[in-house]
Structure 1
Amino acid sequence: MFQDIQLDELLKRQQNEQINIIDVRSPSEYKDAMIPNSVNIPVFSDEERAEVGTIYKQKSPEAARERGLEIFSEKLPRFVKEVKQLEGEKVVYCWRGGMRSKSAATVVDLAGVPVYRLEGGFRSYRDWVLNTLDTIEFKPRAIVLNGFTGTGKTKILHQLKSEGYPVLDLEGMANHRGSIFGQIGRVPHNQKKFNSLLVHELLQYQNGDYMLIEGESKRVGKAVIPDFLLDKKDQGIQFFIELPKSERVKIILEDYQPWDHQEESIEAFRKIKKRIHTPVAKEIEQSLENGAYARAVELLLEYYYDPRYQHSITESTDENFKIIQGETVEEVTEKIHEQLARLDKVAQ
C-alpha cells in the first residue's frame, strides 16, 4: 500500500536526492500553477474533470466517483507506463490529496511501483508558499542593477548567475521583461507561479551576504513583488549602468527579435502611441510596419523610455550609488565583477 508524505519531508528529499513529483491534476490546473520540477500525468483531461464535477453537483458524490473511476480505468495502462518511465522515487499529488491522487497512487502501487502521495495535495504546498513569503527572514543585502532600457541588465544577471553569484531573476520568474513590450514572445506567469519560483530562490540565498537583483517596479507583468523585497531593493547598493545608445539598440533587437513578432510589437506600441509626439509616433509605427526595427527602437528610446527614466540619473555622493560605464555589456560585467570582489573582500 502506498504511503502519504508530508510536504516538509518532500521538499527536503527534493533538495537532497532524485525524486519525481507527479501532478495528476488536469492540464489547465497544472498550467495555472504547480510544484516546481513536477511533471503532469493527468488522471482527467479538462473536459473529463468538468464532466465529473457536473455529476458531483447535479447528482451525487457517489455517482461522480463511479464516473471518475470509469474514465480513469480506460487510461490505466498508459498512466502506469508513463509513471514507470520516471527513474527514482515517485510522489503523486492532486489539489487536496483526495480521490485523484489516491486512485493514482493505488494503481501505481498495485503495478509494483513504490509511490508516495502528498498529504494535503497542492493546496498544502500553496499554503506553505504564502506562509513562507509572509514570515521569511531574508538577510542578504540587495545589489541592484539600474539603468536605461536596453543596458543589458538581465543579460548581465544571467551571466553572473551562471558564474555562481546569488541572483534573483525577477523577470525570469515573471516570464516578462517588465515593460509594455515585455510579454512579446512569452506567456507571462501568474502570481501563483511567480510566488512559487520566488520562494525557492529566496530560501536558497536567505543567509548570504548579498544578492543581485534588477531595479524593477512593484509589478512585473502579471506578478507583484512582495513589499519586503522592494524594501530590500530600495535600501540596497545601487549600480547604475550606462551604455552607448547604439549598443542598447543592438541589445534590445537581440532580446526581442521583433522581426519574429511584428504584429505583437505594433499592437504593444499602439498602447503607448498617444504618449509620444504625433510625428515621432507616426515614424515609429511606420518603421515597425516596414521592418526598420533599429530605427523604431532608437526613436522609442529617445522620445519615450529615456525621458521617462531620466529621474533615475542622479549625481549622488552616496557611497551606495555607483555609476558603471562601458562600451559593451562585457565591459560593464567585468567592472561589476571588480565591485563584487571588493564587497567580498570587505565581508571577509
Structure 2
Amino acid sequence: MPVFNDEERAEVGTLYKQVGQEAAKERGLEIFSQKLPAFIAAFKKLPGPMTVFCWRGGMRSKTAATVLDLMGIHATRLYGGIRAYRHWVVEQLEKITFKPGLLVLNGYTGAGKTLLLERLAKAGYPVIDLEKMAGHRGSIFGQIGLEPSKQKKFESLLLEQLLIYQDAPFVFMEGESKRIGKVTMPDFLYNKKENGQQIFIDIPIGERIKNILDDYQPWDNPELFMEAFDRIKKRIHVPVAKQIEDDLINERYESATRLLLIYYYDPRYEYGMKQYNEKQKHVIHADNNEDAFQKLLAFVQELSPQLIEMTKQ
C-alpha cells in the first residue's frame, strides 16, 4: 500500500533536494491527505497484526503509523526500514550458532521427501523446508509452476525458521544440494546438513513416478518441460534421450519419467550417496508414502540420546 506512487515519490524527492526538507514534507502531506480515506479503508480490511515500513525507515512509515493510530488501528513500524532489516538478516546469519542436530531426508527423486516433511510439520515436529523457501523443487524441472525466491527473500525466511527452532533437540530437513534453484544455502547450514543423520527413503519406482506426476503435473506446462529437458538431454545416452523426447512430445509422461529416473536422476543420486559413512545412514524401505511416514515416525521415536547427540556434532 504505497503512500506515494513512483511519480509522486520522485516529485517529493526532487523538492527535498532542490528546495528543502520542509517543502518536501508539506507537499508529501498534501498528496497523502487526498488518499487518507482509501488508505484507512484498505487497512481496515486487513486481519491480524500489521507492520508498516519504508525502504530507509523515514517519514512515510512514521506518518502512516501515526495516522493509523489516530484511527484506532494499531500498526508497528519497522525502524530503519527494509534496508536495516536486510542488514540485520545478514548479520544474524553470519554469527548464528544453530544448535539442533539435523535429521536429513534423502532418497531417489520422487521418494516423497517433501510430502514427509509436510506431514512431520503437521504432526508437530520441527521442520525446515528449504524447497518451499526457495520456491524450487531442486531439479532441472524444479521451477515449473512455482515462483522462485531470490536470495534475500530466501535468507529472511530461513533465518525466521532457524530462530524458531534454535532450542529444538533436532530438526528435519531435506538433503538438498548447496544451490536450490536461484538461491544458495549458507555454508554453516550446508556443512551441518552434510554431517547430520542421513535418513534414506526407499520406495518402489512406480510410487515415485506417481509422486512426481502428482507434484509436477507436466500436462499443464508441456512446453516448459520440453525446454527443461533440452538442457540435460546431452547428458543422457542418445537412444534413451530420443525416447524421452518422443514421450514428452506425445504426452506419455509416465514413460518419460521412468526413463529420466533410471538413466539420469538415479545414477546421480547413487553417486552422491557414496560420500556418507555407514554410521550416518539409516535406510527406510517402504511400500508407499504412508508406510514411509509410519516407519519414519517409529525411527524418530526410537532415537536414543546418543543418536541425538551425534546429530549435533
For normalisation by structure 1, the TM-score amounts to 0.80
Match of residue 267 from structure 2:
307
The alpha-carbon deviation at position 249 of structure 1 amounts to: 0.7
- Which amino acid in 2 is paired with 1:258? P
Matches within 5 A, 1:150-189: 150-189=110-149
RCO (CA 8 Å, sep 6+): is it higher in 1 or 2?
2
Aligned sequence identity (%): 51
The alpha-carbon deviation at position 101 of structure 1 amounts to: 0.9
Larger deviation: 184-193 or 301-310? 301-310
The alpha-carbon deviation at position 68 of structure 1 amounts to: 4.4
Unaligned stretches of 5+ in structure 1?
1-40
Q: List per-residue Cα deviations over 1:323-346 (Å, max 9, x = no partner).
A: 111111111111111110111666
The alpha-carbon deviation at position 147 of structure 1 amounts to: 1.2
Matches within 5 A, 1:13-52: 41-45=1-5, 47-48=6-7, 51-52=10-11
Match of residue 133 from structure 1:
93
The alpha-carbon deviation at position 294 of structure 1 amounts to: 0.6
Q: State whether residues 54 and 81 of structure 2, in contact with CA within 8 Å, keep that contact through their aligned partners in structure 1.
A: yes
Choose from 284, 288, 291 the match for 2:244: 284
Match of residue 214 from structure 1:
174
The alpha-carbon deviation at position 44 of structure 1 amounts to: 3.0
The alpha-carbon deviation at position 50 of structure 1 amounts to: 6.6
Q: Please, what is the CA RMSD of the aligned residues?
A: 2.6
- Which amino acid in 2 is paired with 1:44? F
For residues 61 and 288 of structure 1, what CA distance do their matches in structure 2 show? 63
For residues 12 and 161 of structure 2, what CA distance do their matches in structure 1 show? 36
1:255 aligns with 2:215: yes
The alpha-carbon deviation at position 69 of structure 1 amounts to: 4.3
For normalisation by structure 2, the TM-score amounts to 0.88
Give SS of 1:146's match: strand
Q: How many residues align?
A: 307
C-alpha spacing 1:178/1:64, structure 2 compared with 1 (3 Å) = farther
C-alpha spacing 1:69/1:213, structure 2 compared with 1 (3 Å) = same
C-alpha spacing 1:313/1:102, structure 2 compared with 1 (3 Å) = closer
For residues 298 and 61 of structure 1, what CA distance do their matches in structure 2 show? 68
For residues 47 and 35 of structure 2, what CA distance do their matches in structure 1 show? 21
The alpha-carbon deviation at position 105 of structure 1 amounts to: 2.4
Match of residue 223 from structure 1:
183
The alpha-carbon deviation at position 238 of structure 1 amounts to: 0.9
C-alpha spacing 1:89/1:183, structure 2 compared with 1 (3 Å) = closer
The alpha-carbon deviation at position 70 of structure 1 amounts to: 4.8
Match of residue 104 from structure 2:
144
Matches within 5 A, 1:87-126: 90-126=50-86
Q: List per-residue Cα deviations over 1:299-340 (Å, max 9, x = no partner).
A: 111111112222134598733211111111111111111110
Q: State whether residues 12 and 27 of structure 2, in contact with CA within 8 Å, keep that contact through their aligned partners in structure 1.
A: no
The alpha-carbon deviation at position 205 of structure 1 amounts to: 1.0
For residues 246 and 218 of structure 1, what CA distance do their matches in structure 2 show? 28
Give SS of 1:74's match: helix
C-alpha spacing 1:117/1:292, structure 2 compared with 1 (3 Å) = same
For residues 315 and 233 of structure 1, what CA distance do their matches in structure 2 show? 13
- Which amino acid in 1 is paired with 2:116? I
For residues 86 and 106 of structure 1, what CA distance do their matches in structure 2 show? 17
Choose from 38, 56, 63 the match for 1:78: 38
For residues 59 and 299 of structure 2, what CA distance do their matches in structure 1 show? 55
The alpha-carbon deviation at position 148 of structure 1 amounts to: 1.2
For residues 131 and 8 of structure 2, what CA distance do their matches in structure 1 show? 33
C-alpha spacing 1:173/1:68, structure 2 compared with 1 (3 Å) = same
- Which amino acid in 2 is paired with 1:310? E
For residues 301 and 87 of structure 1, what CA distance do their matches in structure 2 show? 45
For residues 271 and 315 of structure 1, what CA distance do their matches in structure 2 show? 27
Choose from 165, 171, 180 the match for 1:205: 165
C-alpha spacing 1:49/1:147, structure 2 compared with 1 (3 Å) = farther
Q: List per-residue Cα deviations over 1:250-308 (Å, max 9, x = no partner).
A: 11000101111111111111111221222222221221121111111111111111122
Give SS of 2:149's match: coil
C-alpha spacing 1:70/1:202, structure 2 compared with 1 (3 Å) = same
